[in-house]
Amino acid sequence: MCGIVGYIGKNDTKKFLIDGLKELEYRGYDSAGIALLGDDGIETYKAVGKLINLEEKITQNCTNCFETPVGIGHTRWATHGKPTEINAHPHLGAYSFVVHNGIIENYKELKDELISQGIEFLSQTDTEVIVHLFEKFHKITNNTKEAFCKTIEALHGAYAILLITKADKDKIFFAKSGSPMIIGKSQNEIFFASSDAPLIGYASEVIYLEDGEFGEADQNGISFYSNNTTKWNKLQTSKQLAQKNGFRFFMEKEIYEQSEVASDCMLGRIKDNGISFDEISLDFFDDIRDIKICACGTSYHAGLTGSYLLQRLGNIRCEVEIASEFRYKEPILDKNTLFVVISQSGETADTLEALKMAKNSGLKTLAICNVDNSSITRVADVTLLTRAGIEKGVASTKAFTTQTLVLWMLSLYIGKIKNSINNNLLQNELRTLREVPRVLKIDSSIHEKCKRLSKRYLHGHGFFFIGRDVFYPLALEGALKLKEISYLHAEGYPAGEMKHGPIALADPELFTIALMPQNLLYDKIKSNVEELSARDSTICAISPLNFELADDFIKTNLCDHYMLEFFEMLVALQLLSQEISIRLGNDVDMPRNLAKSVTVE
Q: How far is the CB of 354 from ligand M6R (least distance, A)?
A: 11
Q: Is 348 left (phi over 0), alpha (psi -120 to 50) or beta?
A: beta
The count of other CB atoms within 10 Å of the CB of residue 38 is 16
Q: Taking contact as CB under 6 A, which single stretch among the options 81-89, 224-232, 291-299, 314-322 is the one that binds ligand M6R?
A: 291-299
Binding residue for ligand M6R, selected from 126, 216, 260, 484, defined by CB under 6 A = 484
Q: How far is the CB of 388 from ligand M6R (least distance, A)?
A: 11
Residue type, 182: I
The answer to whether residue 581 forms part of the interface with ligand M6R (CB under 6 A) is no
Q: Taking contact as CB under 6 A, which single stretch among the options 105-113, 356-364, 391-399, 452-460 is the one that binds ligand M6R?
A: 391-399
Nearer to ligand M6R, 458 or 594 (CB): 594
- Burial code of 504-531, b = ≥16 C-beta within 10 A, e = fewer? ebbeeebbbbbbbbbebbbeebbebbee
Q: How far is the CB of 371 from ligand M6R (least distance, A)?
A: 8
The answer to whether residue 470 forms part of the interface with ligand M6R (CB under 6 A) is no
Nearer to ligand M6R, 469 or 484 (CB): 484
Quick check: helix, strand or coil at residue 462? strand
Span 242-281, contacts to ligand M6R by CB under 6 A: none
The answer to whether residue 396 forms part of the interface with ligand M6R (CB under 6 A) is yes
What are the residues whose beta carbons fall under 8 Å from the beta carbon of 448, sequence distance 6 or more?
Answer: none
The answer to whether residue 394 forms part of the interface with ligand M6R (CB under 6 A) is yes
Instruction: With beta carbons less than 8 A apart as the criterion, state whether 317 and 334 touch.
Output: no
Instruction: With beta carbons less than 8 A apart as the criterion, state whether 363 and 293 touch.
Output: no
- Burial code of 416-453, b = ≥16 C-beta within 10 A, e = fewer? bbeeebeeeebeebbebbeebbebbebeeebbebbbeb
Active site residue 318: no
Nearest by Cα to 9 from 209, 160, 171: 171
Distance of alpha carbon 93 from alpha carbon 374, whole angstroms: 31
Nearer to ligand M6R, 418 or 592 (CB): 592
Binding residue for ligand M6R, selected from 298, 337, 404, 512, defined by CB under 6 A = 298
Nearer to ligand M6R, 62 or 598 (CB): 598
The count of other CB atoms within 10 Å of the CB of residue 569 is 24
The count of other CB atoms within 10 Å of the CB of residue 380 is 24
Binding residue for ligand M6R, selected from 345, 386, 533, 578, defined by CB under 6 A = 345
Quick check: helix, strand or coil at residue 11? coil
The answer to whether residue 344 forms part of the interface with ligand M6R (CB under 6 A) is yes
Size of the site for ligand M6R (CB under 6 A): 17
Binding residue for ligand M6R, selected from 101, 127, 259, 299, defined by CB under 6 A = 299
The answer to whether residue 374 forms part of the interface with ligand M6R (CB under 6 A) is no
Nearer to ligand M6R, 321 or 552 (CB): 321
Active site residue 450: no
Nearer to ligand M6R, 558 or 594 (CB): 594
Q: Taking contact as CB under 6 A, which single stretch among the options 161-169, 338-346, 427-435, 455-463 is the one that binds ligand M6R?
A: 338-346
- The crossing angle, in degrees rounded to 10, of helices 398-417 and 562-583 is 160
The answer to whether residue 479 forms part of the interface with ligand M6R (CB under 6 A) is no
Binding residue for ligand M6R, selected from 198, 297, 467, 517, defined by CB under 6 A = 297
Distance of alpha carbon 81 from alpha carbon 78, whole angstroms: 7
The answer to whether residue 598 forms part of the interface with ligand M6R (CB under 6 A) is yes
Distance of alpha carbon 340 from alpha carbon 326, whole angstroms: 13
The answer to whether residue 296 forms part of the interface with ligand M6R (CB under 6 A) is yes
Active-site annotation, residues: 2, 596
Interacting residue ranges for ligand M6R, rule: CB under 6 A: 296-299, 343-345, 348, 351, 394-396, 480, 484, 594, 597-598
